[in-house]
Amino acid sequence: MDTSDLFSSCRKGDVGRVRYLLEQRDVEVNVRDKWDSTPFPPPLSPVVAGARCEANTFDGERCLYGALSDAIRRALRDYKQVTSSCGRRDCFRDFLQRLLEQGLHSDIAFQVHGRRLRAHRCVLGARSDYLARALGTRWRDKGVVVLRHPLVRPRHLPFSLCRLPPPTPGWSECQGESRLAKQCHLWDLLGDLEAKREKVSEFVASKPGTCVKAVTIEPAPGDPRLRRDFARLAERALPAELRGDLWELPFPCPDDSDSFPSRPDVCFRVGNCAFPCHKAFFCGRSDYFRALLDGHFRETEEEPGTSGDPQTVALSGVSPETFAHVLRYVYSDHTELPPEAAYDVLGAADMYLLPGLKRLCGRSLAQLLHEDTVVGVWRVAKLFHLARLEDQCAQFMAKVLDKVRPAVREEAAAVASRQETDSIPLVDDIRFHVAAAAQTHSAAADAQRRLRALQDLLVALGLDC
């Protein structure tokens, strides 16, 4: 429904509706219809954040063909492409990128052709069974591993292991990348490399004289492989008593508790449960935990014992069941969150400064929308600044106007020094959704009836807006 609405709004030139669909409803900007067309006219695609306009593609050629002047064509050729992955920031991949580039809290290093690269045992072992065995055997007690093979590229090694695009991948280096992937048993990376080689070969054959100097290999949107691998670390950090129905993964997760030493360097104590975790993940994903573990802000803390046990930090104000959801999100950027647990997890996500987890809670709370609960959910959305959930509540309220009296009164009271002619944001949103739902003559008549009912409610409350 939202997809067809985006196409129709673009044809009508309704900028406000298009902005609403992209920003509030999270409609994919590069969606295609049955004629393989995108919502935006080709000359406008480059100026829409997230729209694809890549050189030597069908869409790119259409942009150049649809340009109205040579000046626009030159601007398109010089345009720095903004793909959907760039337009919609992937915070989890940004975190992994920083983790590799900065090497914070690293516990192992690779010496490659005179250059030292810092890495993390937990990441390497989770991504590769081959490296997990090496870390558990011949590299167990090594702080620096020397690699002398000529095909191992120092700048690409950590990016290949974490399945991220290298900084400047050269096409001539793909052979070395493939051998490295095969040696480390990175079968998903090897398959993507082979698929890219075939695609580039077909492209070069179709355009004689073309020289490919670099390639970019990115996982497809929604690719679960990174999430699946790092979920193994989260599984190992859970206490045995919490590995029940709460932790049923959406994909197979073998028991590899003894396959490699992940060496956790911090242990969070929540109630009577201990969660052995890694500072690299918690400090990299949350400013709260960065200040707690690296800064001067401390909660109850126990110094590590002489046996070399990790630092122990006690957390208050959260239950073990709720922290289990936080832990899973920190490691894998996802958690299976039932609606009944969303309120507690939302409070923890707000305290631990995890905006992505707050959005997941908002999606879960949206399942609770009912005429008897919509006002309560709307209050939670306002309190935690969940814009999308707040809009969904307003859309639902447009269908049950007889239940919105408390919300309208609260919203009107929240407008400081409100004048008689000041508008009420919630009322404006309800009016918008009532009008937007009127697509036929019968729906328009129903919309007029609803708008009159809303106006009568405002008059009964003594409001004029």
Q: What is the C-alpha separation between 404 and 455, in angstroms, rounded?
A: 12
Residue 274 in domain = yes
Q: What order do you get walking across the sheet with 115-119 strand by strand?
A: 115-119, 108-112, 144-147
C-alpha triplet 123, 124, 130: angle, nearest 5°:
145
Long-range contacts of 14-21 (CB under 8 A, 24+ apart): 17/436
Residue 394 in domain = yes
Does residue 1 sit in helix, strand or coil?
coil
Q: Which of 367, 387, 412 is the last residue of a domain?
A: 367
Task: Note whether 79 and 97 are same-domain residues.
Answer: no
Q: Give the largest Cα separation in the chain, rounded.
A: 81
Task: Note whether 233 and 334 are same-domain residues.
Answer: yes
Residue 271 in domain = yes
Domain of residue 315, residue span:
226-367
Helical (H) or strand (E) element with 249: none
Task: Note whether 235 and 354 are same-domain residues.
Answer: yes
Task: Note whether 413 and 310 are same-domain residues.
Answer: no
Cβ neighbour number for residue 287 with a 10 Å cutoff: 12
Q: What is the pLDDT of residue 348?
A: 96
Residue 105 in domain = yes
Task: Note whether 361 and 378 are same-domain residues.
Answer: no
Query: What secondary structure does DSSP assign to 416-440, as a single string?
Result: TT--TT---HHHHHHHHHHHHT--S
C-alpha triplet 234, 236, 240: angle, nearest 5°:
115
Confirm if 337 and 353 have CB atoms less than 8 A apart: no
Residue 422 in domain = yes
Residue 214 in domain = no
Q: What is the C-alpha separation between 299 and 302, in angstroms, rounded?
A: 10
Task: Note whether 155 and 186 are same-domain residues.
Answer: yes
pLDDT tens for each residue of the chain, 465 residues long: 667 777 777 777 677 777 777 766 667 666 666 666 666 554 444 444 445 555 555 555 555 555 545 665 565 555 444 444 444 457 888 888 888 888 888 888 888 878 888 888 888 888 888 888 888 888 888 889 887 776 666 555 555 555 554 544 444 556 667 777 777 777 877 888 788 888 888 888 887 877 777 777 766 666 777 888 888 889 889 988 887 544 444 444 444 444 566 789 899 999 999 999 999 999 999 999 999 998 766 554 554 444 567 889 999 999 999 999 999 999 999 998 999 899 999 999 999 999 999 999 999 999 999 999 999 999 999 999 998 999 999 999 998 888 888 888 888 877 655 555 567 888 888 888 888 888 788 888 888 888 888 888 888 878 766
Task: Note whether 121 and 195 are same-domain residues.
Answer: yes
Counts of helices then strands in the chain (DSSP H, E): 22, 7
Task: Note whether 68 and 183 are same-domain residues.
Answer: no
Residue 211 in domain = no
Task: Note whether 363 and 396 are same-domain residues.
Answer: no
Task: Note whether 242 and 302 are same-domain residues.
Answer: yes
Q: Which of 367, 392, 416 is the last residue of a domain?
A: 367
Give the CATH number for residue 113. 3.30.710.10
For the chain, the domain total comes to: 4
Task: Note whether 354 and 434 are same-domain residues.
Answer: no
Q: Which of 145, 171, 206 is the last residue of a domain?
A: 206
Residue whose token pair is 């006002």? 375
Task: Note whether 79 and 102 are same-domain residues.
Answer: no
Residue 63 in domain = yes
